[in-house]
Structure 1
Amino acid sequence: MKVLVYSTRGFERPYIDAANNSKHELSFISDSLSSATAIKAVGYDAISIFSSDEACFLTLEKLRSFGVKYISLRSVGYDNVNIKAAKREGIKVANVPAYSPYAIAEHAVALLLALNRKLIEANANIKRFNFDLNYLTGFDLNGKTVGIVGTGRIGSVMTKIMNGFGCTLLGYDVQEDNLLEERYGLQYVPLETLCENSDIISLHVPLNSDTHYMINEDLLDKMKPSCYLINTARGAVVNTEDLIKALESKSIAAYGMDVYENEKGLFFKDLSREIPEDDMLLKLIAMPNVLVTGHQAFLTTEALKNIAETTIYNLDCWEKGTTSDNEIIT
């Protein structure tokens, strides 16, 4: 099968090549998929895209007219693909439903620990030979209440990790997991109750119509002034304008983010020679109680290997005329 791989990054190509093992004819480009770049897929049977690519109705219409029949996502989320339009155009779409929940959950913990123990500030001080410990006080995680919003694959791993720290666990999900209750003592509560009682809140939900701006002014106002909020899910799960107001008014203590609602066109690029025209992001980066990483929670060798293997598996199934287990159905 002839496949065009959009948004190729240097760190992932060796894993894709190894998983492919010369089975498919792959072409790699760094361009993101959009209605403007869809024309690059002329002559290809399939494309592979990342979470930063955009497969809207217009783009899908063009892809179909160019002969593209399949889209293999290199991500769990598929909110960047108009699935109904893809079905209407006869384009099959498959994702990578579980590449490494450990990678995401462990990164959430890394953000929390770095914020809590002031590791960024401490390291900057040491580089200036400043060994003063003032303003570097953190708190023990042991005994704290952690609210886990979304207890699926990633949230389950987060539950296990925070249980190991000796935390009291609250959970919120539309589908409750009895095993987490039995093993780790997690207690499911309404989202408002979770926000009111948690010292730490970690977000692990997909982005959809129900979770868009799930964390907004109303819920932020319910959180403790000492609350640490961690987001490794999707940027638009949090209303960024409301979040900045909460941080400025000290309604919450800190925010750790690996995702941002306006990250498209910013993240995954080197913009060190220019200043992004995004006031909200600039404000967040400037705040001492905010830690930002650029959508790198997935970036482990294990996750990259699993993503590549599943991407090629989806292509293998389609070439054989079979249905992939990971095919997304409306």
Structure 2
Amino acid sequence: MEKTKVLFYDIKDYDKEFFKRYGKDYNIEMKFLREKLTEETVDLTKGFDVVCAFTNDDINKNVIDGMAENGIKLLAMRCAGFNNVDLKAIKNRFKVVRVPAYSPYAIAEYTIGMILSLNRKIHKAYVRTREGNFSINGLMGFDLYGKTVGIIGAGKIAQILIKILKGFGTKVIAYDPYPNEKVAKELGFEFVDLDTLYANSDIISLNCPLTKDTKYIINRNSMNKMKDGVMIVNTGRGMLIDTVDLIEALKDKKIGAAALDVYEEEEDYFFEDMSNKVIEDDILGRLLSFHNVLVTSHQAYFTEEAVEAITNVTLNNIKDFIEGKELVNEVPQN
């Protein structure tokens, strides 16, 4: 049986290692590209059956038209999000699948790590001591015990995060458009409306998907409703926060600290080594200049378990398509 040809875009060394390791028993021929999928690189899809793309590929109408013209039958996203795919432009010319979940533990645990690092200035202390500076001036934090943490989006990741937070002795309140009161009772937290969450939280964690309702859910208006000095943590999607408004609130000291693993214009920088280049994004540069902002490069998901799960689910999505089986992880196009 002839092998199905799969073209992988935006591949890093660790991606290649995992797909080669787990793809040996699949009837597919894999080609790996470091380049992102864009209008400039879509022509490379000619001669392939399946395209595998990632979160920062620019899959707009022109890219989709090019893929369709080149005979692509399946777009396999090796991530949960698909807001970078113009689904309406596909018009059922090929199928789209994704990896809806990999390791909620990875993201929940990383969220806690960001809170602790930012609060106790662990990242700053590490740099200081390596330079021989053992002063603790400016490194004071606060006890998590007794603080109120507000969670926006109470899905699987948030539920694991809440379990961990309860271990610190925090009070947890949450907002979700579809509140599960049974889970709230089991885990010992309370569902509240957004205004109540804003007014009472010492720390706010964003764990919701990016939708038309959640885009820029954190803006100047919502931040004005928050406690002075609140900490905001975002391990969800960059566009949950209006970054310009966040910068103004940081300057005004309305927001006390921000931990960001995602950024709304991250695609040109995150996952890449930019250490020998000038950061031309003035907003990102401004964020990086704040002493009370911790930015990491979309790595909350990045554990061996999560990458293994992403790899295996992606390969099985492709296998099910080849074999004509039901695509359990298909993304609807309507």
| TM-score, normalisation: structure 1 | 0.97
Counterpart of 1:127 in structure 2 is 130
Asked if 1:180 is matched to 2:156, the reply is: no
Deviations 1:277-319 (A, max 9, x none): 1111111111000001011111100000000000001000000
Kindly indicate whether the alpha-carbon contact (under 8 Å) linking 1:64 and 1:89 is maintained by their aligned counterparts in 2. no
Residue type of the partner of 1:30? Answer: R
Give the match for residue 144 of structure 1: 147
| Partner of residue 40, structure 1 | 44
* Structure 1 partner of 2:292: 289
- Tell me which amino acid in the other structure corresponds to 2:305: E
Which amino acid in the other structure matches residue 287 of structure 2?
A: L
SS of the residue aligned with 1:206?
coil
- In structure 1, the residue matched to 2:66 is 62
For residues 35 and 207 of structure 1, what CA distance do their matches in structure 2 show? 24
1:76 aligns with 2:71: no
How far apart, in 2, do the equivalents of 1:108 and 1:258 lie?
9
My pick for the range that moved more, 207-216 or 129-138, is 129-138
Q: Distance in 2 between matches of 1:273 and 1:129?
A: 26
Shift of 1:128: 2.4
CA displacement at 1:180 relative to structure 2: 2.7
How far residue 22 of structure 1 moved from its aligned partner, in angstroms, is 4.5
User: What's the CA shift for 1:115?
Assistant: 0.5
1:249-288 equivalences under 5 Å are 249-288=252-291
- TM-fit CA distance, 1:89: 4.2
Unmatched 5+ stretches in structure 2:
none
Q: Hey, what's the Cα distance between the residues in 2 that align with 1:150 and 1:13? A: 33
Q: Any residues of structure 2 matched to 1:1-330 within 5 Å, and which?
A: 1-23=4-26, 24-86=28-90, 88-329=91-332, 330=334
TM-score by length of 2: 0.96
Structure 1 segments unaligned to the other structure (5+ residues) = none
- Partner SS state of residue 44, structure 2: helix
Distance in 1, matches of 2:62 and 2:95, equals 16
The amino acid of 1:285's aligned partner reads L
Per the TM alignment, residue 18 of structure 1 is displaced from its structure 2 partner at its CA by 2.0
CA RMSD of aligned residues (A): 1.1
Name the CA distance, whole Å, in 1 between partners of 2:183 and 2:142.
26
Which amino acid in the other structure matches residue 64 of structure 2? Answer: L
CA distance in 1 between partners of 2:89 and 2:21 (Å) = 32
Q: Distance in 1 between matches of 2:131 and 2:228?
A: 32
Q: How far apart in 2 are the matches of 1:272 and 1:22?
A: 38
Q: Percent identity?
A: 39
Counterpart code for 1:97: P
How far did residue 121 of structure 1 move? Answer: 1.6
Tell me how far 1:137 sits from its aligned partner: 1.0
The ranges of structure 1 where at least 4 consecutive aligned residues each deviate by more than 3 angstroms after the TM superposition are none
Q: Alpha-carbon deviations, 1:72-110, whole Å to 9, x = none?
A: 111111101112222x14210111011011111111111
CA distance in 1, matches of 2:208, 2:296: 18
Q: Matches of 1:306 and 1:270 in 2, distance apart?
A: 25
